[in-house]
Structure 1
Amino acid sequence: MRKLWALASTLTLPRWAGEGMMLAVLVAYALLYASPYGLRVLTVAGVYALAAIGFQIVFGLGGALSLAHGAFFGIGAYATGILGSQWSLGFAATFPVSLLVPLLLALLVGLPVLRLESHYFALATLGIAQVVHLLAVNSPALTGGANGLPGVPGIVLFGWAVPRGLPLAAVVWGFVALGGLLAWTLARGRWGRALTLVRDDPLAAGTLGLDVGGLRLAAFALSAVYAGAAGALAVHTQRVVSPEVLEFPVMVSVLTIAVVGGRGRVAGAILGAVLLLHLPEWFRFLERSYLIVYGVALLATIVLAPHGLTGLLDRLFPSRPAPLPKPAAPPETAIPMGPLLRVEGLTKGFGGVRAVDGVSLTLEAATITGLIGPNGSGKTTLVNLISGLETPDGGRVMMGNSDMAGQRPDRIARAGIARTFQAVSLPEGASVLAAVAAARLERDGSIALAEAHALWALERLGAADLAAKPCAGLPAALRRRVELARALARRPAVLLLDEPAAGLTDGEKAELAGHLRAIAATGTALLVVEHDMGFLLPLAGHVLCLDQGRTLYAGPPEGVRSDPAVVAAYLGEGA
C-alpha cells in the first residue's frame, strides 16, 4: 500500500485530466449501464450539479455563505412552472425568465446584505429564503399554494420534445457542461483570482485596486443565475412545481455537495452531486439503516478529506506545475517631482477616543518619511485613513488636486497609493507568484501578463527563487519581502509601509533598507512606520512622531533623540 501511495505521489497529470476522466465515466455509465431509474437519478444529479456549480462561485470562490441559493433555485423553478402550466409557454420563453428573475432579485437584495459580514450575511440570506417560501405557500392563486402546480410541460428544443430517459439526461448534463465550462473559465481567469483574494483577505484586496463590493455582488448575482437555471431544469424533469423546491433541505444538499466535492471547484460540484444523489440508492438494500450509513459515509468523507474529494485527488495526483513566465517590467507611471501626497488636519475618533487628532504631513517624491510613536499613538490608524480602510471624521488627503479622504480603498489604490500591513497577510493556498500577481489583476489584461510583472517585482527584491513556492510556511522575513514585492508590483507613486522591519535580523534589516532606498530613487514617496530607531533614523529624511493622535515632532531625524517631548513620550531618558 505504501508503495502504491509513493507511486501515486510521483505522478503528475494535466490540470484537465481529472475532469476528463470524470466525464468519460459518466458517459460510459449513462450509455452502457444505467437503468431507466438510474438515468432519472443521474438527471436529478445533473440538476444539483448545476446548482452547486453556481454555489461554488459565491461560496467557494467568494467565501460568502449564501443561504438564499435554495431560494433562487425555487424561484427559477416557479418561474418555469407558472409560465409553463398556466400560460402554456415553451422552454424557449420560460428558461430565460427563470434566469432573469433570480438575477434581478439577487441584485436587489445583494446591495444591502453583502455589506454584512460572516454569519450575519448567512442569517440575512436565510431570512430572504424563508420569506420567499412563505410567499409561495400563501399565494395559491399564483403558485398553487401548498399543493403546487402540476402539468408543467417538458423541454422542447427546436421543435423536438425531449423524452425522459437518456435524451433528457443528455440535455441536463449538456447544460451542466456549458455552465461548468463558463465557471471553470472564470475561476481560472483574472476575475476568479480577484474573487479568491476577496475571500481570503478583503482588506488587502481593496488596497490592491480591486472593487470588493462589486466582485461580491457579481458573484452573488451569477450564482443566482445558475440556481435559477437548475430550478427550471428540475421542474421540467419532475413536471410539477411545489413549495418543496424552496425548502431548506435543497439548500443543505447544495452546501453538502460543495463541501464534500471540494470548495471552489467545478469538478467538486459535479463529483459531489453524483455521489450524494447515488449514495442513498447504493445503500438502499440496508432498508431502515441506510440513512445512518449514508450520514456516516458523509462524515467520514469530511473528516478524511477536509478539502473535499477533489482536494484528495489533487494530493494523490498533483497537477504539473506551470512554467514560470519571463519577468517583464510593468509600465512606468510618470511621477512628478515635488509634493505627491498632502495630509491636512486629518482626524478620526473611535467612541470617545481621538485616535488621530489634526495630523498633517507632506510626502515628497523620491523621499522617505519616518512615522514613529508609542503603541496606540495613531500610526496605523493614520495609514488606514490614507489608504481608505478607515473613513476620517475630518481633514483632507490630497493626491495631486484630488481629495481622496473617505474614498474606497480600490479608488485610492488606483490613484497611485500602495501599502503593506503590520501583520503580513498572504493567501496560504497560493504560490508566491500568484500572491504578488494579485497586485496586477486590476491593471493587466491576462494572468500571464500579471505573473510576468509579478516576477519582475520579486526579481527586483532578490526573491525570484521564491516564485513557485507556496505562501504557507514562509518565514517572517520572506513573507515581508513577498508583501513588499506585491506593493511594488503596482508601481505606486506613494508607498505606505507599516513596520516592515518587524521580526527581521540586523542583516535582513540592512538588506531591506537598501531595497527601500532603491525604490525611493525611482521617484516613489515612502512613509515608513517603525519602532526600530537604529533602522529608521539613518533611512528617513524626515520624521513625524505621534502621541495620543497628535503630532509631537516633525523634522529631521537628527533632532528626534534630542527633542524633550519625544524623549519623554516615546524614547525614554536612556535613548
Structure 2
Amino acid sequence: MPGRGAAPLLAAAGAGLAAYALLFADPYGLRVLTVAGVYALAVTGYQMIFGNAGALSLAQGTFYGIGAYVTGILGSRWGLGFEVTFPLSVLAPTLLALVVAAPVLRLESHYFALATLGIGQVVLLAAVEWQGLTGGSNGIAGVPGIELFGWRPGRGLGLALFVWTLAALGALAAWRIGRGLRGLAFPLMRDTPAAARTLGIDIDRLRLECFALGAAYAGAAGALAAHIQRVVSPEVLEFPVMVTILTMAVIGGLGSVAGALAGAVLLTQLPEWFRGLEGGYLLLYGVALLATVVAAPWGLVSLAERLRARWLPEPPRPLPSALAPEPRPAAPFRGPALYVEGFSKSFGGVRAVDGVGLTVDPGEILGVIGPNGSGKTTLINLVTGLEKPDAGRLYVRGVELTGRTPHAIARAGVARTFQTASLPPGTEALGAVAAARITLDRDVREAEAHAMHFLERAGAADLAREPCATLPPGLRRRVELARALARQPAVLLLDEPAAGLTEAEQAELAGTLRAAADAGAAVLIVEHNMPFLLPLADRITCLDEGRVIAEGTPDAIRRDRRVRAAYLGSPGPEVP
C-alpha cells in the first residue's frame, strides 16, 4: 500500500536511481544499469516459482539462455526484427516449461531441484553439440540491436530506459498477480502445501502456472541480453547465471517483486563498487553478500520494512467489516453427509487402517477415539484425500469421491484442521482465513470480509492483524478452526482440537462446534481429551490397531470393557 511498509524508502531509492541514470551516469554506468534491468526481469520471474511457490527450480538460467539463443538465431541468421524474435523468445522457454512440468513438478524438495538442474545440463549439451544451429562452443555473433517496427532505442540512456520499461511492466504484472486471490494462496502453497490442498486450492495447477510464467520472464530477459551483448554463447546456459539469479532473489527478498528489483540492482553494482580494489574485490564482494544474508536472511526489502516499523511505527490498518456469506448451494439430499465404507491403508507392513466404516449425519457430532497409533489421523487423511486408500469407498452427501484429489474433496464440502495447527507463519490471521475463500469469493476484499465473520465466530476477531507465527498454540487453533469454518463445509473434520487448551478455551470451542453442527454440518472429532469430547459428541467410535472395536453413545463407550482395555491394557473394573 502507498505510504506503508518500505514503500517510501523504495520510492526514494527508485528516484535516486533514475536521477543517477539521467544526470550522472557515464556510458559504462548506463550499460551496467541496463544489465541490471535485464536481471531484474529474470529475477521477477524467478520469484514466481521460487518465492511464491516455494519450489527451488534450477532451470531459470536455462530458460534465460533459451530466450537468448532464440533471439540470436532468428535475429542474426534470419534477419527477423524484435517484434518477431521477442515474442518467440518468450514462447520457447514457456513451451519447454510446460513440456517438462508434468514429470518434474510431481517431485518435492531437492528432487525437484536436481531434476531442473538436469534439464539445464541437457540443454547446455545440446547448445554445444548442435553446431549447425547454435554455433557450438563459439556461439552466435552479430546479433542485431533492438529495432521495433523501425524504431531503435540505440545505446546508452535510450536502451536503459527501454529495458527498464519492460522490467517495470513485468514487475507490475507480477505485483498484480500477488495482490489477487492467487496472492492469498501463495503463502499456503509455499509453507503449508497439505493445508492448501484441503482448502480447495489446486496447488499443482498453481505451480504449473508459476513455473511457466517464470520461464516466460526468463526468456524475455535472455532476449534482451542477446541484443545488448550482440553475441550469444553457451555461457548464458551455464550454472553461474542460475546462481546469480538465485542470489539476487534471496538477497532482495523471496516472494517480493520489490526484492527482485533491489537484488538485481545491488548485485550488478557491487562488483563495480569493489573493482578498484583489484585482486581483493572478489573477497570483499563475497563478504558483503555473506553479511547481507546473516543480517537480513529474509531479504533487504523485508529488512527495510522491519526497520521502518521499528523507527517509524504506523497506525494499524483498518479491518474489513465482517460479512456473513450466502449459504453454499447444495442439491437436496437425505442421508449421511459422510459415509465411509471399508477404508484400509497400509504403510509397508503396518496396517494403519483396516476395514474402517462410519457415517456422520448432518447436525451430528461423531467422536473418534483410540490409543496412539490406532489410525485416527490416517483416517482423516484418507477422508480428505491426503492419503489414497488401498480399499474402501468415500461418499459425501451421496457423491462418491473415492480416490479424488484433496482439493476436489475440499470443494465437494469437506474441511479439516490438523493435529498441529498448520498456518503460514508470515501471514496475518486474517489472510490465513481469507485463503479458505479463494475458490468461493470473487475478490480479496470479499474474501477478507467473509474471513472476519468466521474469525468472530471462532472468537478470534481480535487476532486478525496478528502474524500467525507469533500466536500461541491455543490461539492458532482458533484461527485454524475459523479457516475450516470459512469453507462452509458439509463435513468438518478436527484432529485433536482441544489439545493444549485451557478449560475455558475448551468450553468456548465446544460451543463453536455445537453451533456448527446445529447449522447443519456433520462434525467428526478425533480427540484424546475425554472430559471435553464425551459431553459434546452424539456418538463415539473407538479404533484400536486400525480397526473399529466399539461404537455407541458416549455413556455406552465409557462403560465398554474393550475400550478400557485398549486404553489401559486391561478391561479394569466395571464402571457404574
TM-score (norm 1): 0.96
Aligned to 1:5: none
Amino acid aligned to 2:426: G
Q: Are residues 1:409 and 2:400 paired?
A: no
Which of 261, 267, 271 matches 1:270?
261
| Farther off after superposition, 326-335 or 454-463 | 326-335
Aligned to 2:323: 328
* d(CA) in 2 for partners of 1:186, 1:388: 28
Amino acid aligned to 1:568: A
* d(CA) in 1 for partners of 2:34, 2:428: 38
- CA shift, 1:12, in A, is 6.5
* d(CA) in 2 for partners of 1:65, 1:521: 45
SS at match of 1:395: strand
- CA shift, 1:36, in A, is 0.3
Contact 2:6–2:301 (CA under 8 A) maintained in structure 1: no
Aligned to 1:63: 54
Cα distance 1:116–1:326, how it changes in 2: closer, same or farther (>3 A)? same
- CA shift, 1:14, in A, is 6.3
Aligned to 2:372: 375
Aligned to 1:3: none
Amino acid aligned to 1:205: A
SS at match of 1:526: strand
Q: Are residues 1:302 and 2:302 paired?
A: no
Q: Are residues 1:242 and 2:233 paired?
A: yes
Q: Are residues 1:499 and 2:490 paired?
A: no
Contact 2:39–2:221 (CA under 8 A) maintained in structure 1: yes
Q: Are residues 1:285 and 2:276 paired?
A: yes
SS at match of 1:396: strand
Aligned to 1:8: none
- CA shift, 1:193, in A, is 2.0
Aligned to 1:115: 106
* d(CA) in 1 for partners of 2:16, 2:489: 51
Aligned to 2:176: 185
- CA shift, 1:475, in A, is 1.4
Aligned to 1:544: 541
- CA shift, 1:339, in A, is 1.2
Aligned to 2:250: 259
Which of 73, 83, 106 matches 2:97?
106
| Farther off after superposition, 330-339 or 258-267 | 330-339
Contact 2:322–2:450 (CA under 8 A) maintained in structure 1: yes
- Superposition pairs of residues 138-157 of structure 1, within 5 angstroms: 138-157=129-148
Percent identity between matched residues is 63
Aligned to 1:7: none
- CA shift, 1:22, in A, is 2.9
* d(CA) in 1 for partners of 2:122, 2:494: 47
Contact 2:6–2:304 (CA under 8 A) maintained in structure 1: no
Aligned to 2:395: 398
Contact 2:120–2:237 (CA under 8 A) maintained in structure 1: yes
Which of 27, 31, 40 matches 1:49?
40
Aligned to 2:200: 209
1:28-62 C-alpha deviation (Å, 9 max, x unpaired) = 11100100000011111110111011011111111
- CA shift, 1:160, in A, is 1.2
Contact 2:81–2:148 (CA under 8 A) maintained in structure 1: no
SS at match of 1:500: coil
SS at match of 2:469: coil
- CA shift, 1:546, in A, is 0.6
Amino acid aligned to 2:441: D
Contact 1:14–1:320 (CA under 8 A) maintained in structure 2: no
- Superposition pairs of residues 311-322 of structure 1, within 5 angstroms: 311-318=302-309, 321-322=316-317
- CA shift, 1:334, in A, is 5.2
Which of 410, 415, 418 matches 1:418?
415
Contact 2:188–2:423 (CA under 8 A) maintained in structure 1: no
Q: Are residues 1:458 and 2:455 paired?
A: yes
* d(CA) in 2 for partners of 1:12, 1:161: 37
* d(CA) in 2 for partners of 1:326, 1:404: 36
Amino acid aligned to 1:216: R
SS at match of 1:472: helix
- CA shift, 1:321, in A, is 4.1
Aligned to 2:353: 356
1:275-300 C-alpha deviation (Å, 9 max, x unpaired) = 11111111111111111111111111
| Farther off after superposition, 307-316 or 225-234 | 307-316
Which of 4, 13, 20 matches 1:13?
4
- CA shift, 1:262, in A, is 1.0
- CA shift, 1:352, in A, is 1.5
SS at match of 2:343: strand
Amino acid aligned to 1:536: L
Aligned to 1:431: 428
Aligned to 1:168: 159
Contact 2:147–2:153 (CA under 8 A) maintained in structure 1: yes
Q: Are residues 1:342 and 2:350 paired?
A: no
* d(CA) in 1 for partners of 2:36, 2:329: 56
- CA shift, 1:132, in A, is 0.6
- CA shift, 1:442, in A, is 1.8
Name structure 2 gaps, 5 residues minimum. none
Aligned to 1:126: 117
- CA shift, 1:312, in A, is 1.2
Amino acid aligned to 2:320: P
Cα distance 1:464–1:554, how it changes in 2: closer, same or farther (>3 A)? same
1:316-345 C-alpha deviation (Å, 9 max, x unpaired) = 223764321000012212565641111011
Count residues with an aligned counterpart.
565
* d(CA) in 2 for partners of 1:157, 1:18: 35
Q: Are residues 1:479 and 2:476 paired?
A: yes
1:462-521 C-alpha deviation (Å, 9 max, x unpaired) = 211111111112111111111100000111010000000011122211121111111110
Contact 2:187–2:427 (CA under 8 A) maintained in structure 1: no
* d(CA) in 1 for partners of 2:443, 2:565: 53
> What is the aligned-residue RMSD (CA, Å)?
1.5
| Farther off after superposition, 298-307 or 491-500 | 298-307
Amino acid aligned to 1:438: A
Q: Are residues 1:447 and 2:437 paired?
A: no
- CA shift, 1:21, in A, is 2.3
1:181-225 C-alpha deviation (Å, 9 max, x unpaired) = 001111122112212210010000000000010011110110000
